[in-house]
Structure 1
């Protein structure tokens, strides 16, 4: 019941990290039927194209021993050399068919997933030798599906073999009375017919089984919402901590910005929403933005400016344009030179007038 509840809570698709971790452990979507299909195809190629050359090679390797069996010495050294020579000849005759079967077996795995090198699957684990765990696996859903699939394959493959062999029953009965070359040719053709019939059926089985195994593997790797959160914390950090860090950085940046407002030459505002503090001194190419903000931040900038006798000039279009076009510590764009020059010129005239009056 616990496993079922856990599975029911796995509602989230596996993350890329989870998929990569599964691949490193050798846990991949794999259908044995696809591998069997490739091996069966390789067998058909070997039987169709290499059966005659292979049979001739093996026959040549053994004919001499049958023809001159009486002349073969049987001492220890002669028998050793005999076995070595015979093994080399038979190995040479069977090398190409075996290589083809090996290549097809490897291809059956590579078409399903990329190459994986992992010892995880062969590492001894106590739960693999546990009688209770073995009993559970024996009567698990996967075991029942494999049993039903195997039973269906036996019935269907047996039926296909019957359909292919039954019309040839007279030929099979009299095949032993034919010449060896004719018997081998007829046997090859009959085996090829069987392989083609079974291969046609196995194509459908392999395709459906791969889709099922892929779906089952993907469902097994699904994650609960809690697992997604935990993985995010491990890879990206705790969201709450990151949010707190961003908040602290924003507060420090805002404090530094507010500390620059008393040194500003002028603050250009939209009465309630925008505020941009500009600084200009002799020798500067263009005024620089030392602070900007909207709403509450804009209100704070105006308060700090008034407390430090920094002129606050209301110019809504210019305030909005400057806020949108520049960041802190950046010079104003050229298209705003004239408007800003008029504002700063007005501020400088006000300063000179106050100095004359004083």
Structure 2
């Protein structure tokens, strides 16, 4: 007991995504079965509202001949074949009512991300056969808390069932006086009221149980500072994680540099494999700066954005390749590039001036 409390005190940090993923692989997920129950009742309620009348009428029509002459069926079918066929027929008629509850449970499973295949859960756990271990689990603090929750849920459900039963027994004399043609609709109304109350009770219990299960799951997977350090070391040393981080950084850098292309003064191209976007701030002084560069697909995208933004594009393969290889993003071009880049900037200014004159001429 003292060891468990000390362990809980040491594990004061929230679980990392890696820790939660490992727990999920072991089948440890926060799942509320009460929410599944509420979803099943909800599906049953929807099915009764939309297809309940049709299914009940269909079942009644299939049972009509049997109810009218039950003694004939019993005499003609000592083996029960006709009765079995009638039961199958009624079951098929009522099948649509059962599909919605199943669909509700499936939706609840997906919503809670509870579909997990954990091979470790399949094997035999010898500690579960231990009397001492089972007694500790059932009669320890966690077991007693679970027992208290079960008692409260049972009390609540029995209270709701008692209210429903009282209402049904009060209506029973009136139902007995109804004609057979009206009995199905009356029973359907009773079923709707019953399922509605059960759904509301299950929804209340599920609304309390689900946050509690998630709280327990988060508490159970808390980590100590030592565990965090070990995980960080493992993550930093993982080649896959390093590669993934580099890919993310590269993608972010490419996305950011594409935003700078429309602001460039000129774009130098190879023209197919390389592209370099340059910007010259005359007020700041200094040499032009590389604001974007790339090869192949990235170069093609730089050319497209430049064309859409009206940035002049100049073909100069040797200078383009040299700047791409020697100058990083955000750096000024080298001295050996000054003459060629000055020519490119003059070319860009001439292109812009001609474009303005053409526009004014129109």
Q: Which runs of 5+ in 2 are unaligned?
A: 239-326, 339-362
Q: Distance between the aligned counterparts of 1:74 and 1:166, measured in 2?
A: 40
Q: Secondary structure at the match of 1:27?
A: coil
1:326-345 matches, cutoff 5 A: 333-334=334-335
Q: Secondary structure at the match of 1:113?
A: coil
Match of 1:72 among 76, 79, 82: 76
Question: CA offsets, 1:82-136, max 9 Å, x none?
Answer: 5774464244223222222211111121111263233333332112222222212
Q: Relative to structure 1, is the Cα distance of residues 180 and 154 closer, same or farther in structure 2, using a 3 angstrom cutoff? A: farther
Q: What's the offset of the Cα at 1:221?
A: 0.8
- Tell me the equivalent position of 2:155: 155
Q: Relative to structure 1, is the Cα distance of residues 109 and 70 closer, same or farther in structure 2, using a 3 angstrom cutoff? A: closer
- Tell me the equivalent position of 2:38: 37
Q: What's the offset of the Cα at 1:73?
A: 5.2
Q: Distance between the aligned counterparts of 2:145 and 2:55, measured in 1?
A: 39
Q: What's the offset of the Cα at 1:219?
A: 1.0
Q: Which has the larger radius of gyration?
A: 1
- Tell me the equivalent position of 1:13: 14
- Tell me the equivalent position of 1:133: 133
Q: What's the offset of the Cα at 1:24?
A: 1.8
Q: Distance between the aligned counterparts of 2:73 and 2:114, measured in 1?
A: 52
Note if contact 1:48-1:188 (Cα within 8 Å) is conserved in structure 2.
no
Q: Relative to structure 1, is the Cα distance of residues 225 and 146 closer, same or farther in structure 2, using a 3 angstrom cutoff? A: same
Q: Relative to structure 1, is the Cα distance of residues 73 and 43 closer, same or farther in structure 2, using a 3 angstrom cutoff? A: closer
TM-score when normalising by structure 2: 0.57
- Tell me the equivalent position of 2:171: 171
Q: Distance between the aligned counterparts of 1:210 and 1:72, measured in 2?
A: 54
Note if contact 1:34-1:206 (Cα within 8 Å) is conserved in structure 2.
yes
2:144 is the counterpart of 1:144: yes
Q: What's the offset of the Cα at 1:333?
A: 4.0
Q: Relative to structure 1, is the Cα distance of residues 54 and 132 closer, same or farther in structure 2, using a 3 angstrom cutoff? A: farther
2:193 is the counterpart of 1:189: no
Question: CA offsets, 1:233-281, max 9 Å, x none?
Answer: 333239xxxxxxxxxxxxxxxxxxxxxxxxxxxxxxxxxxxxxxxxxxx
1:154-303 matches, cutoff 5 A: 154-163=154-163, 166=166, 169-237=169-237
- Tell me the equivalent position of 1:320: none
Q: Relative to structure 1, is the Cα distance of residues 144 and 97 closer, same or farther in structure 2, using a 3 angstrom cutoff? A: same
Note if contact 1:65-1:72 (Cα within 8 Å) is conserved in structure 2.
no
Q: Secondary structure at the match of 1:103?
A: helix
Q: Secondary structure at the match of 1:223?
A: coil
Note if contact 2:11-2:224 (Cα within 8 Å) is conserved in structure 1.
yes
Question: CA offsets, 1:293-338, max 9 Å, x none?
Answer: xxxxxxxxxxxxxxxxxxxxxxxxxxxxxxxxx99xx998449x9x
Note if contact 2:73-2:83 (Cα within 8 Å) is conserved in structure 1.
no
Q: Distance between the aligned counterparts of 2:78 and 2:171, measured in 1?
A: 42
- Tell me the equivalent position of 2:122: 122
TM-score when normalising by structure 1: 0.58
Q: Distance between the aligned counterparts of 1:69 and 1:226, measured in 2?
A: 76
Note if contact 1:26-1:118 (Cα within 8 Å) is conserved in structure 2.
yes
Q: How many residues align?
A: 246
Q: Secondary structure at the match of 1:52?
A: helix
Q: Relative to structure 1, is the Cα distance of residues 89 and 201 closer, same or farther in structure 2, using a 3 angstrom cutoff? A: closer
2:23 is the counterpart of 1:22: yes
Q: What's the offset of the Cα at 1:74?
A: 4.8
Two-structure CA RMSD over aligned residues (Å): 3.5
Q: What's the offset of the Cα at 1:211?
A: 0.9
